Chains A and B, each alone.
Chain A
Amino acid sequence: MRDIEDWAKTRPRRRGQAWVQRDGEETAVYNAGSGQLHIVNASALAIWELCDGETTPKEMAEAISELTGLELDASAADVHSTLMTLADAGLVEK
């Protein structure tokens, strides 16, 4: 729970120099800083693209909820989970 609260106060920012190569439903994101290549799906990429240092996780969840019709709680949980995964991969920072 504390993790969710921590993220809620942030404006996540994409990390490093990422190079994006799209191929169908998946995208390869290359983090030049770590030298690692990460395969992400469309929704994870979309959230990664929203990490501009200005957009809050709440704003991300509300936008997704409006677009998809998902309940806000479900969207917020998805956003949090994705941000955690992207952070673990070194692709976003708080």
Chain B
Amino acid sequence: MGEIRVRVFATDDAFAGALSAYLSAEPTFAVVGGTAEVIVVADAQPRSVVMSLAEEAAVLVIGPDGADDMIHALDAGAIGYLPSFCAFGEVRQAIFAVAEGQAVVPPHMLGALLRHVVRRRRANAADVERLDRLTNREREVFELLAQGHDRESIAGRLFISVGTVRTHLQRLFLKLDIHTHAEVVALAARCGIDIHDHEESH
């Protein structure tokens, strides 16, 4: 196994120092202050930190021993979660796992996590059923709106009038019981619809 660069991000300086010193003793780890493959976040409320870091590295959170805290961290983009009373040895083992893309959760929280996944899947299925109420044209308008197009742009792409676009929008907002563009984007994302306009990305 190659070297794993690890960064420790903790609100408690003493904890950060102790954990960094412990991890530095592992021959395959390089504890760094910059770019890393694995970032360990030790924070009681890590959500915003995780969201900002999850795109650049695999994030392992050390946080409160609560299922809700774990779920929030994983939803924010963390791959692994350990309770704050975990031993440093467990952190070391977890780093190896998340470096390979494996999820790490406390065994006693697995049930809560699975319940969360079941509920989310049910909600997603309900969202997909909502979209099924739309006509094909309404669906096209919905997707273009989710991608950020305004009425004029939608009309041009679909070769219809702005007035017709307005009518489709009124109908789909009513059918879907949504009222804002933000709700459109959120619903599209939950249903797995690509909300990026690739035609404009070249």
B66 located at the interface, meaning its Cβ lies under 8 Å from any Cβ of chain A in the complex: no
CA distance A42 to B106 in the complex (A): 9
- For A48, the chain B residues whose CB sits under 8 A away are 111
Judged by DSSP, the binding face of A is helix
Q: In residues 81-128 of chain B, which contact A (Cβ within 8 Å)?
A: 103, 107-108, 110-115, 117-118, 121-122
The tally of residues in B whose CB lies under 8 Å from a CB in A reads: 13
CA distance A64 to B103 in the complex (A): 12
CA distance A45 to B108 in the complex (A): 8
**Contact indicator A46/B111 (Cβ below 8 Å):** yes
Judged by DSSP, the binding face of B is helix
**Contact indicator B107/A63 (Cβ below 8 Å):** no
Query: How many A-B pairs fall under 8 Å by CB?
Result: 48
**Contact indicator B114/A22 (Cβ below 8 Å):** no
Contact with B along A57-75 (1 / 0, CB 8 A): 0011011101110000000
**Contact indicator A43/B110 (Cβ below 8 Å):** yes
**Contact indicator B107/A59 (Cβ below 8 Å):** no
- For B110, the chain A residues whose CB sits under 8 A away are 42-43, 45-46
Residue of A nearest to B74 (CB): A67
Residue of B nearest to A63 (CB): B117
Partner of B108, one of A42, A59, A63: A42
The tally of residues in A whose CB lies under 8 Å from a CB in B reads: 22
Residue of B nearest to A26 (CB): B107
Partner of B118, one of A41, A45, A50: A50
CA distance A42 to B111 in the complex (A): 8
- For A41, the chain B residues whose CB sits under 8 A away are 107
The 21 sampled A-B contact pairs (Cβ below 8 Å) are: A22-B108, A42-B108, A42-B110, A43-B110, A45-B107, A45-B108, A46-B110, A47-B111, A49-B115, A50-B115, A55-B118, A59-B118, A59-B121, A60-B114, A63-B114, A63-B117, A63-B121, A64-B114, A66-B117, A67-B103, A67-B114
Spell out A's residues near B (CB within 8 Å): 22, 24-25, 27, 41-43, 45-50, 55, 59-60, 62-64, 66-68
Spell out B's residues near A (CB within 8 Å): 103, 107-108, 110-115, 117-118, 121-122
